[in-house]
């Protein structure tokens, strides 16, 4: 069956032209390029292109005498930030905008999911380069589908996989360490020692917080500790806009969520304190996100039946908004209603189109199926792995603007 028979180029191109769908801009306009710019500012050769000059003046980073602080707010998509600013719920961010200018619009990567996007932010590589191609992947080494966040086979969380299976690129912290630049990771204390956090933060000095109010104090601690070592890098991460948006939906202009809007208020307060610490230490502050979120309709959840799953080569990989299906018989997918809930795309065509950021090695290619089911607006795929299914009100991994477009706010050191 040919690509032309199955790939809906015409309808997809129409959605791209209208802005309804957004492809990754790996050529200097994505989150991959944020980390490349940070590396460049410390004199390191980045593995990917830095941000284009229309998105970032590189001197803002290289001229910061204290170094660079990068705060990643999980799932703070551009649309959600703009909704909060318009409603007056982010006054500290608004003050920073008044000083530094409006946030630039970057894209996430594909898939726009946490495991893949945070790995790109940690390594300055697109998914094709680091191999974390989704939330769930097939791994030859264990002959099973594995949850990347938990580093364990799906349904068997007490059987961890070897960490080295998924490690293939140095982190920004490791690269900076090689040239003598101190770097720190400020994230939740509960993540310390977990395999996925190790994947992202190898080479850093770990500082874990128990509460949000600790974050500015830990930043102060890191910058004070590095004061006699020259310029430094601090990577910071806050996860709970993502958490709340999954449960209550993202706060978007077209679908409001009071819970998500309240969470943004607390994040805004924290950002105000973080910006103050950065000014005191002469650090440039970058604020961005790994991806956004889109509103999901639980009534449109597509539960994949057991009899259908049994006919696939293995359990679907990917995630609830972008499912990877290992199946040779495309008619089976149509009969199961997949094409009614999603754009059903040949994976080889998706790879050739550059959605993952380049060609895949043979081992990476085997981690995903031969069909991509890219869920329609509001739709999520649900699989019962033995503990039921749990529809969410917000999700990501797809290519809608709400999922793909993230802000970049850069506050100069002075």
Q: Are 357 and 404 in the same domain?
A: no
- Note whether 284 and 34 are within 8 A (CB): no
Which helix H or strand E contains 246, and what residues bound it? helix 240-248
Statement to judge: residues 59 and 184 lie in one domain: yes
pLDDT of residue 82: 97
Give pLDDT, residue 17.
77
- The span from the CA of 304 to the CA of 159, in Å, is 25
Whether the CA torsion 225, 229, 231, 233 is positive or negative: it is: negative
* 188/347 Cα distance (integer angstroms): 36
Residues of the chain predicted below pLDDT 50? 1-9
| Cβ–Cβ < 8 Å for 186, 73 | no
Query: Could you tell me if residue 203 is left (phi over 0), alpha (psi between -120 and 50 degrees) or otherwise beta?
Result: left
Quote the tokens at residue 97.
Answer: 């905008």
> Considering the domain boundaries, does residue 135 fall inside one?
no
The structure tokens listed for 183 are 């770097």
Number of domains comprising the chain? 2
Q: Are residues 343 and 291 in the same domain?
A: no
Same domain for 190 and 253?
A: yes
CB 391 within 8 A of CB 296: yes
- Answer yes or no: do 262 and 350 share one domain: no
* Domain CATH for 269: 3.40.720.10
Cβ(117)–Cβ(123) below 8 Å: no
Statement to judge: residues 205 and 290 lie in one domain = yes
Cα angle for residues 159, 164, 165 (degrees, 5° grid): 70
Whole-number Å distance between alpha carbons of 256 and 250? 7
Task: State the pLDDT at residue 18.
Answer: 79
Who contacts 70 (Cβ-Cβ below 8 Å, separation ≥6)? 34, 38, 233, 234, 235, 236, 285, 286, 287, 288
Distance (Å, rounded) from C-alpha 323 to C-alpha 328?
Answer: 15
C-alpha 309/C-alpha 241 separation (Å) is: 32
Torsion of CA 14, 253, 56, 131, to 10 degrees: -60
For position 7, what pLDDT does the model report? 45
Compute and round to an integer the Cα radius of gyration of the chain: 21
Domain extent for 260: 31-130+162-295+400-411
Residues 6+ away with beta carbon under 8 Å from 244:
257, 259, 260, 263
Same domain membership, residue 352 and residue 280:
no
Residues 291 and 302 in one domain: no
Specify if 147 maps to a domain.
no
Kindly state whether residue 140 falls inside one of the protein's structural domains: no
pLDDT at 4: 36
Note whether residue 154 is domain-resident: no
Cβ proximity of 233 and 278 under 8 Å: no
- Do 300 and 290 have their domain in common? no
111 shares a domain with 90: yes
- Give backbone dihedrals phi and psi of 274, rounded to 5 degrees, phi first: -60, -45
DSSP annotation of 137: E
216 and 173 fall within a common domain: yes
Q: CA 108 to CA 89: how far, in whole Å?
A: 24
Q: Does 93 reside within a domain? A: yes
Cα–Cα dist 366/134, whole Å: 13
Residue 144 lies in a domain: no
Domain assignment of residue 155, yes or no: no
- Residues listed for the chain: 414
Decide if 377 is inside a domain. yes
- Cβ proximity of 381 and 94 under 8 Å: no
Structure tokens at 257: 């969520």
Burial class, 366, CB count within 10 angstroms (exposed 0-12 / middle 13-18 / buried 19+): middle
Distance between CA atoms of residues 387 and 374, nearest Å: 24
Looking at residue 366, which CATH number applies to its domain? 3.30.1360
* 188 and 63 within one domain: yes
| Structure token pair of residue 320 | 């609830």
């Amino acid at each position: 069956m040919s690509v032309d028979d199955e790939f809906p180029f015409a309808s997809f191109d129409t959605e791209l032209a209208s802005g309804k769908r957004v492809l990754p801009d790996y050529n200097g306009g994505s989150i991959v390029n944020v980390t490349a710019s940070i590396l460049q500012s410390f004199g390191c050769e980045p593995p990917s292109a830095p941000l284009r000059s229309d998105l970032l003046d590189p001197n803002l980073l290289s001229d910061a005498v204290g170094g660079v602080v990068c705060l990643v707010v999980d799932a703070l998509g551009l649309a959600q930030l703009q909704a909060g600013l318009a409603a007056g719920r982010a006054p500290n961010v608004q003050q920073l905008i008044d000083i530094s200018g409006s946030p630039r619009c970057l894209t996430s990567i594909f898939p726009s999911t946490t495991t893949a996007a945070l790995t790109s932010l940690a390594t300055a590589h697109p998914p094709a380069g680091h191999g974390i191609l989704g939330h769930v992947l097939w791994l030859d080494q264990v002959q099973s589908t594995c949850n990347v966040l938990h580093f364990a086979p799906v349904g068997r969380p007490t059987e961890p996989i070897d960490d080295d299976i998924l490690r293939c690129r140095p982190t920004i912290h490791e690269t900076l360490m090689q040239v003598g630049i101190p770097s720190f990771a400020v994230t939740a204390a509960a993540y310390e020692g977990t395999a996925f956090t190790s994947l992202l933060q190898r080479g850093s000095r770990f500082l874990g917080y128990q509460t949000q109010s600790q974050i500015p104090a830990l930043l102060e601690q890191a910058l004070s500790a590095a004061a006699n070592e020259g310029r430094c890098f601090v990577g910071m991460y806050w996860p709970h806009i993502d958490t709340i948006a999954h449960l209550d939906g993202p706060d978007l202009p077209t679908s409001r969520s009071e819970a998500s809007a309240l969470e943004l208020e607390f994040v805004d307060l924290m950002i105000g304190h973080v910006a103050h610490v950065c000014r005191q230490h002469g650090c440039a502050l970058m604020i961005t996100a790994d991806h956004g979120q889109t509103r999901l309709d639980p009534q449109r959840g597509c539960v994949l039946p057991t009899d259908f799953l049994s006919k696939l080569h293995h359990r679907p990989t990917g995630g609830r908004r972008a499912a990877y299906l290992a199946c040779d018989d495309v008619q089976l997918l149509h009969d199961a209603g997949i094409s009614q809930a999603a754009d059903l795309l040949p994976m080889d065509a998706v790879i050739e189109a550059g959605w993952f950021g380049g060609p895949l090695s043979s081992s990476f290619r085997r981690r995903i199926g031969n069909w991509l089911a890219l869920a329609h607006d509001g739709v999520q795929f649900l699989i019962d792995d033995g503990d039921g299914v749990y529809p969410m009100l917000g999700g990501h991994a797809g290519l809608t603007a709400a999922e793909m477009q993230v802000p970049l706010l850069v506050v100069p050191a002075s």
